[in-house]
Amino acid sequence: MRKIILAAAIATSALGLAACSEKTETEAGEAVDAMAADAEAATDTAAQGAEAAADATAEGAAAAADAAADAAEATADKAADAAADVAAEAEKAAE
**pLDDT confidence of residue 1:** 57
Local confidence pLDDT in tens for the 95 residues of the chain = 566 776 666 666 665 655 555 666 677 677 777 877 887 888 888 888 888 888 888 888 888 888 888 888 888 888 888 888 888 877 777 66
Q: pTM of the full predicted structure?
A: 0.45
Long-range contacts of 20-23 (CB under 8 A, 24+ apart): none
Q: Please spell the DSSP secondary structure of 33-72, one letter per residue.
A: HHHHHHHHHHHHHHHHHHHHHHHHHHHHHHHHHHHHHHHH
